Structure 1
Amino acid sequence: MRTTVLLPLLLCLLAPATGSAADAVPAQRVLVFSRTEQFRHDSIPTAVATLQALATGEDMLADHSEDADDFSPANLARYRVVVFASTTGNILDAGQQAALEGFIRAGGGFVGVHAAADTEYQWPWYGQLVGAWFKAHPPGLQDTRVQPERDGRAHGKAWAIRDELYNYRDNPRPRVQVVATVDERLYQGGTMGQDHPITWCHAFDGGRSWYTGLGHEEAVYRDPNFLAQLRQGLRYAAGRSAQC
């Protein structure tokens, strides 16, 4: 089942100026998928609604589903971007996995949020799509700073975040373009050292992939810095921006 949920306040803040009816073109579609087979995040409804509002602000239509049968070649052909919003565990069977692979190879875009990296460990292609798999996280929510990055260098001011901060099995930097890092000096339990990517993107297997490890805590989805990051991730995955 797919539903469409909007956040009126976000729409007011994020919607671009509209043109005349004569300028209207069919909206691109986004599939937000939040099926879980292991841990389920309480923030999923907020994540879904936020992603749908952001998509609407970009003149895209976003459907929400937890039905793995939506991963068929015919259905995915309707979409420009697939978002995994804190999915966990093994959520697609072999045929559904093949459908997602075909979608990406046909030029589709992927956005992974938070526990998307805690998903499908037995599917090597998926691990490459996301860029790195989740390893562990320190207990509880902790405060740190997110440092935006461009072309391997700090870009813009760091911003404060309180969230569950993932450690990954390895550093994805050699395989991806890092969008932001977190500062392990400001919290306990980081295991990746001075270079701790938390958001990244890359061209992959004919399509585009963008991932952020942030998004565990519901309050994060009210952070304007995070919203701007998510919006740019959607734009990159949809092929609307070369910069992620």
Structure 2
Amino acid sequence: MKRAATLLVVISIALTSCSHAAKPSATVSTRSLPSILVFTRTRGFHHSSIPAAIAAIKQLGQRNGFAVDASADPSLFTDARLARYRAVAFLLTTGDVLDDEQQAVFQRYIEHGGGFVGVHSASDTEYGWPWYGELVGAFFKNHPKIQRATVLVRDRTLAATAALPERWVRTDEWYNFRTDPTPHVHVLLTVDEATYTGGTMGAAHPIAWCHDFDGGRAWYTAMGHASSAYSEPMFLSHLLRGILYASKLESTGCPPPQV
């Protein structure tokens, strides 16, 4: 119990102070803060957790010095509009969410140093766009029923994982992917297939990763299916670190792939 209490204190501190950006005050306009766009369009399965996820990310922004715009409107994908943002998060998106012109805009945005954050079904998005698949790291294949499993920290040297326990037990919808991203990304977390049923990726089943891609930074977590995830301190710490990395609000980069 003492260890659990200590861990909660550490995570609480991380959620309020881990950003290098200044914490906003009541007298500072959010427009003067670095901003991210949270994009939530769905053209397949629609996650009922989207409102809770948006609210949680906005609260992370308020506590850590970045502004958050959230929208499901693809018309925001113009060169001028995306230039306002340090990163774009595809939050629980599904299906074909951008047309050809919007895809070209987003690709230019990444090539000019923009950041990408993908959450859960961001990998269940834009199957016909190979560049996007490389950005995310892998496309979703299938998943077993929602169940408890053990997440293992693959690399504890990074800020993105420093606050997490070596073995992190939680409940989620555990994705299998069409291909193994491991050769092309730096794996942050794996899920232990021995602790649940339905995993098909093997002993080192990747579940969160990062990589520098095509001029920008990309970070992806396959977790975050249910609304309850967005009230979990450890998951929010995990998500926050991904946002800070992708938006270059912390100096730590992503190491090369481990293989």
Q: TM-score, normalised by structure 2?
A: 0.83
Instruction: Please state whether the residue corresponding to 2:32 is helix, strand or coil.
Output: coil
Tell me, yes or no, if the aligned pair for 1:28 and 1:60 is still in contact at 8 Å.
Answer: yes
Tell me, yes or no, if the aligned pair for 1:171 and 1:192 is still in contact at 8 Å.
Answer: yes
What are the Cα deviations for residues 215-236 of structure 1, in whole angstroms up to 9, with x where unaligned? Answer: 0011111211111110100110
Number of aligned residue pairs: give it.
233
Name the structure 1 match of 2:8. Answer: none
**How far is 1:151 from its partner?**
7.5
What are the Cα deviations for residues 99-152 of structure 1, in whole angstroms up to 9, with x where unaligned? Answer: 1001101100000000000000000000000000000001x2111011122179
1:50 corresponds to 2:56: yes
Q: Within 5 Å, give how 1:179-198 maps onto structure 2.
A: 179-198=188-207
**How far is 1:240 from its partner?**
2.5
5+ long unaligned stretches in structure 1? 1-10
Instruction: Please state whether the residue corresponding to 1:201 is helix, strand or coil.
Output: strand
Tell me, yes or no, if the aligned pair for 1:37 and 1:88 is still in contact at 8 Å.
Answer: yes
**How far is 1:13 from its partner?**
8.6
Q: What do you get for the CA RMSD once the two structures are aligned? A: 2.6
Aligned partners of 1:169, 1:81: CA distance in 2, in Å? 26
TM superposition outliers: structure 1 runs of 4+ over 6 Å: 19-25, 151-155
Instruction: Please state whether the residue corresponding to 2:62 is helix, strand or coil.
Output: helix
Name the structure 2 match of 1:14. Answer: 15
Name the structure 2 match of 1:4. Answer: none
Instruction: Please state whether the residue corresponding to 1:208 is helix, strand or coil.
Output: strand
5+ long unaligned stretches in structure 2? 1-11, 255-259
- With over 3 angstroms needed to count, the CA separation of the structure-2 counterparts of 1:217 and 1:80, relative to structure 1, is same
**How far is 1:26 from its partner?**
2.6
One-letter amino acid matched to 1:146? V
Aligned partners of 1:239, 1:225: CA distance in 2, in Å? 21
Q: Within 5 Å, give how 1:202-217 maps onto structure 2.
A: 202-217=211-226
One-letter amino acid matched to 2:243? L
**How far is 1:20 from its partner?**
8.2
**How far is 1:23 from its partner?**
10
- With over 3 angstroms needed to count, the CA separation of the structure-2 counterparts of 1:190 and 1:61, relative to structure 1, is same
1:229 corresponds to 2:235: no
One-letter amino acid matched to 1:228? S
Aligned partners of 1:200, 1:131: CA distance in 2, in Å? 8
Name the structure 1 match of 2:134. Answer: 128
Instruction: Please state whether the residue corresponding to 2:248 is helix, strand or coil.
Output: coil
Instruction: Please state whether the residue corresponding to 1:64 is helix, strand or coil.
Output: strand
Aligned partners of 2:137, 2:61: CA distance in 1, in Å? 23
Aligned partners of 1:26, 1:152: CA distance in 2, in Å? 32
What are the Cα deviations for residues 171-204 of structure 1, in whole angstroms up to 9, with x where unaligned? Answer: 1111001110111111111000101010000000
Name the structure 2 match of 1:66. Answer: 72
Instruction: Please state whether the residue corresponding to 2:154 is helix, strand or coil.
Output: strand
Instruction: Please state whether the residue corresponding to 1:173 is helix, strand or coil.
Output: coil
1:174 corresponds to 2:180: no
1:200 corresponds to 2:212: no
Aligned partners of 2:95, 2:24: CA distance in 1, in Å? 43
Name the structure 2 match of 1:3. Answer: none
Name the structure 2 match of 1:8. Answer: none
Tell me, yes or no, if the aligned pair for 1:161 and 1:220 is still in contact at 8 Å.
Answer: no
Tell me, yes or no, if the aligned pair for 1:145 and 1:159 is still in contact at 8 Å.
Answer: yes
1:107 corresponds to 2:113: yes
Tell me, yes or no, if the aligned pair for 2:15 and 2:240 is still in contact at 8 Å.
Answer: no
Aligned partners of 2:238, 2:84: CA distance in 1, in Å? 25
Q: TM-score, normalised by structure 1?
A: 0.88
Name the structure 1 match of 2:7. Answer: none
- With over 3 angstroms needed to count, the CA separation of the structure-2 counterparts of 1:52 and 1:22, relative to structure 1, is closer
